[in-house]
Each structure stands twice: as structure tokens, then as C-alpha cells.
Structure 1
Amino acid sequence: MLQVRYAQARGRGNPMIEWLDSYHTFSFADYYDPHHMHFSHLRVINEDYIQPNNGFGTHPHADMEILTYVLNGRVAHKDSMGNATEIAAGEFQIMSAGTGIYHSEINPSHEDVLHLYQIWIIPNQKGVTPRYAQGKFPDEEGATLILSPEGEDGAFKIYQDMRLWRWQLSKDQSAVKNIELSESRRYWLQVVKGSLSVNGIALTTSDALGISNETALDIQVSEDTEFLLFDLV
């Protein structure tokens, strides 16, 4: 079964927050849709555009796995674990909030809009010691493992039975790609950029697809394309 979530159908953030333009795949904050609460352990996929010199001040989290993927600009991050750093475009950041953390995420630029995805994953363990990691993965054709329970092959460890792959496909090098799936698991495909068809369904930048009871994906790209593929229970 394929469940399409087109970009234009997502929820919108509070229009009174002038510095933030936010698109919510699942119910979040003031946006509520009982048909889009979560997908498996995926609880939040927000695509945010944050104006210069603005951002999220210090606020708490607990018992959540929080992944940030910066597409353009940079994030100035500070947290109660003592981390004070910047996450640049192309980098990922993972936090296990566990027993509780406070952090802030600010766009430090005076000119550039910050564009990022923030993704929350419900953990399978509560009360873990909070932890933090960030890094940039190779830009290469095909799939790169970003998250896994074991943290193998340079991936970030996550407290959940899931894996996240970043796929990068070039029109010239991989016009067609077949991806084998386990029929017993569920998948979420989030288009970061580009255009492609998935089992005959046309998708473009910021569209998404929920996948269950399928054994393969037939991917055809019409331009250079990047997507995130979540492998979930």
C-alpha cells in the first residue's frame, strides 16, 4: 500500500510567528489532523525556513530522538549537555533527549535564510542518558546509512528498531533504481529535492510516501534527486 503525502497538503505553522515558515507532515503544535498523527515511530517531520537572526530559544525535550538535517544556512546550537556548536548545510545532528535536555537552535546569519528538516522519532527506551552527535556524510551516488540501532558503518546510533538511508540519484547515472523491501516492515520516503516516480507515482521536492505491504520500489528519476528512506517496524 502506498500513501501519498503531497507537500502542499501538509499543515502550516503559526502565521503569527513572522520569522518562521514551517510545514508539518504530522500533527504538531497548533496543527492537528487525526489522519496524520504519526507513521510508525515517526512522530514529527517539520520542514522549517528560519529568518536571519532568529530561531528557537532555550526549550526542553525528554524521551525523544531528534534528528536535524540542514539543507541551507547553518544552525547555532547550544544545550544543557555543554555543547555549543554550529551545524552547516549538508550536516546531520542527532540528540537523544532521554532523561531531559534544554537546547536552543538559532540562525546566526545576518542575511541567509536557514532551511532544515527536523525529525522526531519515538524511542524504544525511556530515561536514557542524553547524548549528542553531528556530522556530514559522503555525497555519493546511491544509499548512505544515517541512523541505525547499532550505529554501524559510521551511522548515528538511535534507540529504536529503525534505519534511515539517504539516497542520492543522478539522472545521468541512475535513471532507474530498484530497491528491495521487507513486506513485514513499513517505510517512509521523504523527497528532499528533485523529481522521481515511485512504483508509478510521481513525486517532487518535499512530497512524501508512506509504504507498507510492499516488496520493492521501482524508482525512476527525471533530474538529480535526493530522498530520505525510513525503514520502520
Structure 2
Amino acid sequence: MTPFVDIRRAEDRGVTSTDWLDSRHSFSFGDYYDPANTHHGLLLVNNDDRVAPGTGFDTHPHRDMEIVTWVLDGSLSHQDSMGNSGLIYAGLAQRMSAGSGVLHSERNESPEVPVHFVQMWVIPDETGIAPEYQQLEINDALLGGGLVTIASGSTDDAAITIHNKRAALHGARLESGAAVEVPDAPFVHLFVPRGEVTLEGVGPLHEGDAVRLTASGGRRVTAVEQSEILIWEMHADLSGG
């Protein structure tokens, strides 16, 4: 596999903007469609969402998708047809496996504070599985400043489990000057939802920027200021290769 680095700037993302939602799409989503930008590796959706107080996504369906939600500020109220309900907040890893079909809603119940979160979708290894929900608080682990495995289908040290053995999501909160190493994998997606970092061999990455790496792992990410990063490590693409 030929090493390749594809830098995607924040301002080049697709946009959905309403009176209550500001959503920035790293890949084709909703009304934003670019046939040359549908996925990287196994990652199909990386939406950077801000939802106004007292609003949100009403009940809607999903099927055959592993959906991971990562809140940065505020909180998001979740309810689904499996009977799960609760608040998703910063430092809480949350995953919903849509499987054979599920209905859910995601709303910002705060009357004053917007919620900022990143929602990411990867395909499952098998279709038609029973829907599932899982969450775990990992805030204390993130305070250590290293790379923390938020979700994985192959390792035991992940906070939550996804139904894809070839994908894992890692996250880190970095103080200025702190650094972590990007996992070495055939496909890697690095996203900067907060702050500014530098990526070895690439240069500065600002809030909302992303880098898609193919066979180019092992690089160091260093925080220029207090920052947060999300890294997908993937050992296959949608073709299974």
C-alpha cells in the first residue's frame, strides 16, 4: 500500500445550517454529497455538531451502523426504542449499534447552554444484529494526557465495544507541548475538534481540521495549545481490503 497523506481543512467541510443546528460534515452526509468524499477506511460519518438550547434531533431511525457520540461541551439527552435514556456529557464514551433497526432521539435539554459533540459512524462486521447501547465514563483516564482507547472491536482495554474488529477510536486531551503518537495502521483518520496541534511531517492543524492517512502512521501529534484529538485506527476499508 502506497503511503498517502490527505489534509482536510475545517472550512472545506460540508455544512448543514438551520436555526438550531450547525453541523459540519467531513464526509458526504444529508444534502451534502460529493461522490469523491464518501468515507476513509471504515469511517463513513464524522459530523461536528452544535445544537442550540432546547432543541435537537427528534425520533428517527437507524440501521446497520455503529454510532459513536463524543461530547465536548454541554450535554445531549439520548432516548431510544430499546428503552435506554440518559445524558451524554464530556468524558462519557457512548455507542449505539443500530443493527436490525432502532429509533432514537438526541436533544439538548438545557434552556441556556449549547451542546457541541462529534458523531462518528462505522459499518459493523455483520448486518442485522440485535440493536445495542453502551456507555462508560472515562474522564479520569483522559486527564492523564495520553492516548485513550474510546471504542474498539478488537482490544480489551477500550471503554466501549463496537461490532467491527478492524476499527478503533482513540482520544486525547493534550496540554500545550504534550504529544502522542498516531497508531500505525493502513487507514487512520485524525480529527481536531478543539485547539491546535502539529502533526509530524504535515504541520499545523487547527480546530475542525482533519488528516486522512494511508499507511502513514507512527507520526507524532503535538499540542500547540490545550487541545483535544480523535483518531480512528482502521485495518481495512469498505471493500474489506
TM-score (norm. length: structure 2): 0.89
Letter in 2 for 1:6: R
Residue 12 of structure 2 corresponds to which residue in structure 1? 9
TM-score (norm. length: structure 1): 0.92
Task: Provide closer, same or farther for how the CA distance between residues 159 and 222 of structure 1 changes in structure 2, counting only shifts above 3 A.
Answer: same
Cα RMSD for the two superposed structures = 1.5
Task: Provide closer, same or farther for how the CA distance between residues 179 and 150 of structure 1 changes in structure 2, counting only shifts above 3 A.
Answer: closer
Pairing partner for 1:169 from 169, 174, 181: 174
Answer whether contact 2:45 2:122 (CA < 8 A) is retained. yes
Answer whether contact 2:62 2:98 (CA < 8 A) is retained. yes
Letter in 1 for 2:233: D
TM-superposed CA distance for 1:35, in Å, is 2.0
In 2, Cα distance between the equivalents of 1:213 and 1:151?
21
Answer whether contact 2:93 2:159 (CA < 8 A) is retained. no
Letter in 2 for 1:29: G
Residue 116 of structure 1 corresponds to which residue in structure 2? 117
Task: Provide closer, same or farther for how the CA distance between residues 78 and 177 of structure 1 changes in structure 2, counting only shifts above 3 A.
Answer: closer
Task: Provide closer, same or farther for how the CA distance between residues 144 and 19 of structure 1 changes in structure 2, counting only shifts above 3 A.
Answer: same
SS in 2 for 1:8: helix
Letter in 2 for 1:159: H
Q: What CA deviation, in whole Å up to 9, does each residue of 1:94-152 have, x standing for no partner?
A: 00000110000111011111111111111111111111011221222111011111451
Pairing partner for 1:221 from 199, 220, 223: 223
SS in 2 for 1:36: coil
**2:100 maps to 1:99:** yes
Say which is worse superposed, 162-171 or 26-35, in terms of deviation.
162-171
Answer whether contact 1:60 1:102 (CA < 8 A) is retained. yes
Say which is worse superposed, 209-218 or 109-118, in terms of deviation.
209-218
Residue 213 of structure 2 corresponds to which residue in structure 1? 211
Residue 44 of structure 1 corresponds to which residue in structure 2? 45
Answer whether contact 2:192 2:229 (CA < 8 A) is retained. yes
SS in 2 for 1:142: coil
Letter in 1 for 2:37: H
Task: Provide closer, same or farther for how the CA distance between residues 71 and 216 of structure 1 changes in structure 2, counting only shifts above 3 A.
Answer: same
Task: Provide closer, same or farther for how the CA distance between residues 180 and 58 of structure 1 changes in structure 2, counting only shifts above 3 A.
Answer: closer
Letter in 1 for 2:117: L
Say which is worse superposed, 201-210 or 84-93, in terms of deviation.
84-93
Unaligned runs of 5+ in 1: none
Q: What CA deviation, in whole Å up to 9, does each residue of 1:177-198 have, x standing for no partner?
A: 444514xx11000112221111
TM-superposed CA distance for 1:154, in Å, is 4.4
Answer whether contact 2:75 2:89 (CA < 8 A) is retained. yes
SS in 2 for 1:45: strand
Percent identity over the alignment is: 37
Pairing partner for 1:158 from 162, 165, 179: 162
Aligned residues: 227
In 1, Cα distance between the equivalents of 2:157 and 2:211?
26
Say which is worse superposed, 123-132 or 153-162, in terms of deviation.
153-162
Task: Provide closer, same or farther for how the CA distance between residues 113 and 148 of structure 1 changes in structure 2, counting only shifts above 3 A.
Answer: same
Residue 193 of structure 1 corresponds to which residue in structure 2? 194
SS in 1 for 2:87: strand
4+ aligned runs moved over 6 Å, structure 1: none
Letter in 1 for 2:191: Q
In 1, Cα distance between the equivalents of 2:180 and 2:163?
30
Letter in 2 for 1:224: Q
TM-superposed CA distance for 1:215, in Å, is 4.4
Task: Provide closer, same or farther for how the CA distance between residues 216 and 79 of structure 1 changes in structure 2, counting only shifts above 3 A.
Answer: same
SS in 1 for 2:147: strand
Q: What CA deviation, in whole Å up to 9, does each residue of 1:83-103 have, x standing for no partner?
A: 121112332210000011000
